[in-house]
Structure 1
């Protein structure tokens, strides 16, 4: 995919940069720096060093492609990814008018018809005085931005729309302003970045380390009915009933209770197609190396891909008692497992297609193709290609090794079950939050449900962070009062509790005085106060 996009861009980008002279506002300067660097690469033969690249414009996903991780050499740069990323950034910046071409009407300077620099410098003070405005926006914006974004995020995550959020007497919560924020602030990219910041803050809290180190994650699907006609849904009588369609929100949860990523899947396509996508695409600071799922997320070819990319796949297997174990050596003695190892792995299939197997791993590692697309390439029409069979044989080896541990290691089974129970608790909380319109998705275009479920994922992490912060405060206060709090009890706490949260009614975004002053709420309930927030 990356190579195809690069080949297309390489045909027109040099002429584009030669023909047009781009300018920018301060927000677009990183993009112009990147374009100037790309332009300087023409005719260059020496390797590009990482320290040379102006990388401010790169988001985390592109950064991983431009600066590939080991085993690639430290400081190396993937030139094709850099050029494609720069071109995409230029397109985005042009649409946002952060970069422009002076003299053009549609793509020209958005401020060309306003007061010029000299006239504005002379008029600024007078204008501010006459309009009762400050030179800096702090006063007029104080409280607005946070309240607006929080309000729209609540409307999306609860599926109730903006009507219960609107407050006619509060300018920041007027209907027009809420719709404007929804259109300009809530999109997949901004939600992903906000989620990454939440997770990074959450993982640094001392209490979180009692729950896990972030190396383990789980993946599971949450089903939503779509009662409208849309191409982005599919049928499944088991989950949606007869003659109804729906989608799956395939989401990923770390062992620290923070959500890492979410993927919208039409209908209930095989979860195994998307399980690696979540690991490779998530942009948080956590880097899990082991992932668990239910039985329907596991397959031999997924085991093989996980092993190639250096991950441990640890699914909960409902049919583990009847599963077949494979042996690498037909004459080996596997002791008590001998009766279960009835079939032999085809090692020749692996060795004869090893270079193609490595190419698959390299394509995934570099971001050239998504894991969900690789699975379709390796098993078109449900029948594996020769390379697909090689990956499958490798997966049989890894699956057999995992099953032998799963049979005998009670701690492994307990760890897997605990993590999946946490995921189920998260889904229960998600249903409580997403209560509006019968919990159904009613937006026809793919971006609508994606943004809405992205807002739901962010809201889930907000609840987890809020609970964690106050759990930590309560534990500290109890210990300061001489109350013994056992570490093993702390490890069993769950920040997915919600009995104290009121999900219904009209929503208020006014902060209590102590919170405005930078303090936490009191953990002591005033006499006669409500038990919900």
Structure 2
């Protein structure tokens, strides 16, 4: 991905073919990462969060709500009305992305792959869905909605039930994409077998862990139990924490402490001392302190340096960092002419540098 066209042309056929294959594999992985990033944004912020905001008016958010709580039924009912948002991508999602799962998360992708067969049908029976995924209010919305005919289920509600479970398992990596780096199986990169046995003593020593996991887990369990009992003992006297009739935990809103006058004066004094200068001048000054411009080397590895190269590099960093392109930094100076900027951009500004 870092190579320039002029450099790639110099490679032999076998090297170019290998580069093409590596690029295709890399871009496929990036494409899956991007697709699942968008799915995360859609489900977490556009569907679940928005539906919940429209039905929950309280300013104090509850912590760790139980999955079978009826408090979720209102926003889940609202969610079902947004089926048009997910219809376009569901069939493509299960067709293009190859999902795997740990044993606990396996029902979610299995149910997800079955959704295209159910979508659009007038009648879907309980035997055609995974009722084990119907937790809490989803069971009522899918199996016992008032508009349902006997022996049928609300398949639209089931779609969102599966998506919610799938999203939860995907974030926990109980479900993963097989050809993804960000959303892939975290266990795939773990050492195993002889490789792990060789590295194990070094890893344990560097982390300060005992050889037996039971000893470490017992100590963690004792610490957790002691901390839990300590916190529980202080709850009766803590006015900031309240339990409601359903057993949910509520935290009172924390009020910010007022900023002291000395901090306000210090902030005003520091702001007054900061000069207003061009960003490129800041970069050039930092270059003079650190010599950071020398880290940008020619793509061929040559030692020759162009005259005023640091000026060109500073201009390119501004152009790319501010996403404004070459035009605002071009001038009549040789170091800032278009040809010079383009040449340095292609040969000095690389991922490796």
- TM-score where L is the length of structure 1: 0.27
Give the structure with the higher percent strand: 1
Give the structure with the higher percent helix: 2
Find the structure with the greater CA-based Rg: 2
- TM-score where L is the length of structure 2: 0.38
